[in-house]
Amino acid sequence: MLGRYRKLARIEAPGTLDGGDVLPMDRTLYVGTSSRSNRAAIEQLAILAMPLGYRVEPVKVHGCLHLKSAVTQVATDRLLINPRYVDRDAFAGVHFIEVDETEPSGANAVRIGSDVIYSASNPRTADALRSLGIRVHTVETSETEKAEGGVTCCSLLFPEAPLEKAHHPSAADRSEPRT
């Protein structure tokens, strides 16, 4: 279905890549090496992304499920981070906001423009974000958190392409599925 809107590429075995391990920031894709994403996939992604003007930076993740459990972007030049799960040195030239130490899952946020969608389970970190002028919208995510999921796990965001550059489905793409 997504192929109707964007050209798709695939990571081939033995590569494995989880979307929760990919953090885009400007023209850099930070990719976590975790239990769900491996070096083979990161190398393939680097080859696929290079012609599009992106560079790929591997980031070691430890103690959590994937990269976005440890760090997410909450403003143009700011990352929300749990430094127990990822080394801040992997992100050169970036400002950090650390999660409250009592909220270890608090680094998982979704930035949409200048707003942030954020779990209601992390009120101290949410207050810290607000104190920095970040507009935070909290949502209840306790069920996804039981499996170490967060708001990024429930989101698929991509910018709308200008009409003249958008992929227009062919008649075959638009036909209704047969039942």
List C-alpha distances in Å: 7 to 22, 30, 169: 18, 21, 11
Among residues 153, 154, 167, 168, the one annotated as catalytic is: 153
Specify whether 66 is catalytic. yes
Q: Please return the burial class of 14, using the count of CB atoms within 10 Å of its CB with bins 0-12, 13-18 and 19+.
A: exposed
Among residues 66, 154, 167, 168, the one annotated as catalytic is: 66
Report the 10 Å Cβ neighbour count for 144. 16
Specify whether 153 is catalytic. yes
Give the span between the Cα atoms of 29 and 6, in whole angstroms: 18
Write out the catalytic residue numbers. 66, 153
